[in-house]
Amino acid sequence: MTGRIKRGETPPIAVHSNILTTSYLPPRSSALHLTCSSTTILKNQAFYNNSNTMTAHTADGKKNGDLYRDYIDDRNAKSQDTLYCTSNGAPYPHPYETQRVGENGPLLLQDFHLIDLLSHFDRERIPERVVHAKGSGAHGYYKTTDPLDDLCLADIFQAGKSCPITIRFSTVGGESGSHDCARDPRGFAVKFRTDEGNWDMVANNTPVFFLRDPAKFPHFIHTQKRHPATNLSGADDSTMFWDYLSQNPESIHQVMVLMGDRGIPDGYRFMHGYSGHTMKLVNKSGNWVYCQFHMKSKQGTKFITQADSASKSPDHSQKDLYYAIERGEYPGWDLCVQTMTPKEAEDLWEKEKTNVFDLTHVWPQKQFPLRKVGEFFLNENVKNYFAEIEQVTFNPSHMVPGIEPSADPVLQSRLFSYPDTHRHRVGTNYQQLPANAPRVPYRMANFQRAGNMAFYNQGARPNYLSSIDPISFRNRSVDLNKTHGHFTGEAITFLSEIRPEDFRFPRTLWEKVFDDGAKERFIGNVSGHMSTCTDKEIIKRQIGIFREVSEDLASRLEKATGVKGYPGISGLRFNGTHNGMAKDKSLRAANGMTIKVGFSATDNNGAPTSGTHKFADGV
C-alpha cells in the first residue's frame, strides 16, 4: 500500500530503525561516559565457569563508581550470553533450589535466593492505568516532509528533520485484560524524541470526546468501570453508561461516532488519530495560530461490526500490530495540521457557533483544510513489553518550543492530571526510565533530586542555583507574554450549557455521512447496548436527546427498543449540564443549582468571542 515500507527496503532514515540503540544518545566525552566498556562486560558463560580466569574487575583505571550495568547491553543480550545470578549479582547454581532443615524439614529464612525471588514476584505489578489500561505499542521514526517553519519554530518541523518515536495504542475504559474489540474509543499516544526534548501527542482515534467540562472526567470514567455493588461491567449492565449520557447531552457527538462504524476499528493500524484539543503553534516572529493535529493512516481505515467482534481474539489488535511489523509491513501515518488565526477563531464562534475550546466540536475541513507536515512509521517491535510499553508515559504537558497549549479547559486539566498519575503509577523519577528519558544533544540538568529510584541524580553538581558552580541557560525562543492571552477578569464559576449548535455536527453525521447500511448498524448497536439498561426513564431521556439530532433516528430507536422517548430536550432538566434549550426557565439550571445566585452558564459558553485576542497578530 501507499507509504508502506517492506522488509528489505531501505527506510527513509535507517538510523532510526532501532529506537533504543546508543546511536540516539549524544556523543559522550570520557567524563560523561559512565557505562562499562566492552572489556568490563563479562559476556561469556564459559568465561564465568572458568574460575581460574574470573576476576572482579579488570585494572583498567576506571573508578569503582563508574561501573554499572548498561541498559542497551542488557536489553539486547541473548540468554546464552548471560549467567544466572541473585539480584545482588551473585552467581547461583539453579533457580529451583531451596534451603531447608534436613531432608524433610521446614525452609530456612536465610535462603536469600528464595526470599528475594518471592518478594520480588509479589511486587511485579505496578498499578494499571485508570484509563487506557489495555494497550499495545511499538517503536519507529518520524520525518518532516513538508516544513512548517512559516507557522512553527519547533526544530522538529524544519525541512528533513527526523526523530525516533514510540507509540502506544489503547482502549479507553477497559481493564488491562479486557477485549481489544470492545466498542470504545482508542488511545493514540506518540512520543516524539526531538532534539529539543520529548513532545508527547496524547490523542485518540476520534476527533471529539464525551465532555467539555474537566470536572466531569472522573465521573464519566467511573461509569465505564464495574458497578460498585454488582461488580458487573457495561457488557452486562449498561445502566450507568446511559445514565451519564442522558444527563450530559453534549456527549451526543462522541456517542454518534462511538456507536457508528468507527466504534470498533479493525486493529490499530487501520485508524486515524486526532489531538482533539486545540493547541497553538508559534513561529520565529512570535506570531501564533490555533492548531489541531491529525494523524491519517496510510493503510486506510477498517472497522469490525458488533456481530463479528465476538469472533475475534481478545488480543486481536495486539496480534495484528506485532505480526505486521514482524512481517516487515510497517504501518505509517501522515502528520497533518489544521490551523486558524485568532481572528478566525473569534469569527467561527460569532458567525457559526463553533467553539475552538470545545472538545465536542470539530473544525470544518472545507474552511480549515488539512496541511501535511510529515509522516511516521512503526518498524520495530519492543523487546520487553513491560519495560517499553507498560512503563512508557505520555503527557500532553510535554511540549517543545513552538508548541503551546490553548485555553481548552479539558486540555488544561490534562496538563496536570497526566504527569500526576505517572508519578503515582510509575514513580517520582518515571522520566529517568529509558522508555521515557529525553535523548537530546546536550547534557540536560535541573534541580530535581532524589526520590524513589533516582538513577540520574546529577552527581556532585549543586542542587540549587549556584554562583560558585553555575549551570548554563538558553535564551527563551517564545514570548509567552505575547503567545498567551492577556486574561483580565473576575474569577467565575463555569459549567457549559447545551445549545442547538451542539447538535449540528451529530446531525451531519446521521444525514450526510452515514449511508443506509451504517444507519442500520448504528440503530442495532445502540439498541443492543441499551438492552441491558435497567431503567427505562434513562432510555426515554436518551431518545429525546437523539431526537434533537434527527426525528428519523429517534423513531427508529423507539421501534428497536420498544420505548417511547421524550419529544426532545426542551422539557428536560439535566443534572450535569445547563439546558439552554429549556422552554421553562426553571429547567435551565443543572440539578441542584439556581439561576438567582452565581449562575455558572455564560453567553459565550466558554468560546473566544470578538475582542478576546486583542493583542494577537492580525486582530
Which residue(s) pair with 413 in the sheet? none
Give the Cα separation of 166 and 178 in Å (integer): 23
Which residue(s) pair with 246 in the sheet? none
460-475 burial by CB neighbour count: b if 16+ within 10 A, else e?
A: eeeeeeeeeeeeeeee
Which residue(s) pair with 315 in the sheet? none
**Sequence-separated (6 or more) residues with CB below 8 Å from residue 407:** 357, 485, 608
Give the Cα separation of 181 and 590 in Å (integer): 35
Give the Cα separation of 571 and 59 in Å (integer): 85
Give the Cα separation of 525 and 567 in Å (integer): 22
Cell 532443615, residue located: 101
Which residue blocks in 214-296 are alpha helix, DSSP H?
Answer: 217-224, 239-247, 252-258
What distance, in Å, lies between the first and last C-alpha atoms of the chain?
Answer: 44
Which residue(s) pair with 497 in the sheet? 578
Give the Cα separation of 244 and 535 in Å (integer): 12
Give the Cα separation of 206 and 208 in Å (integer): 6
Task: Indicate if 132 belongs to the active site.
Answer: yes
By residue count, the chain amounts to 619
C-beta separation of 263 from 257 below 8 A? yes
Give the Cα separation of 443 and 463 in Å (integer): 16
Catalytic residue among 198, 204, 436, 525: 204
Q: Which of 305, 329, 335, 284 is nearest to 145 (CA)?
A: 335
Instruction: Look up residue 452 and give its DSSP letter.
Output: T
Give the Cα separation of 280 and 188 in Å (integer): 20
Give the Cα separation of 524 and 185 in Å (integer): 18
Give the Cα separation of 529 and 184 in Å (integer): 12
Phi-psi region of 420 (alpha: psi -120 to 50; beta: other; left: phi over 0): alpha
Give the Cα separation of 20 and 71 in Å (integer): 9
Phi-psi region of 227 (alpha: psi -120 to 50; beta: other; left: phi over 0): beta
Contacts made by residues 79-83, CB under 8 angstroms, sequence distance 24+: 80/45, 81/43, 81/44, 81/45, 82/45, 83/42, 83/45, 83/48
Grid cell digits, residue 291: 492548531
Catalytic residue among 132, 139, 179, 272: 132
Give the Cα separation of 293 and 372 in Å (integer): 10
Give the Cα separation of 201 and 430 in Å (integer): 18
How many Cα neighbours within 13 Å face the side chain of 239? 13
569-588 burial by CB neighbour count: b if 16+ within 10 A, else e?
A: beebbbebbbbbbbeeeebb
Give the Cα separation of 455 and 449 in Å (integer): 10
- By annotation, the residues acting in catalysis are 132, 204
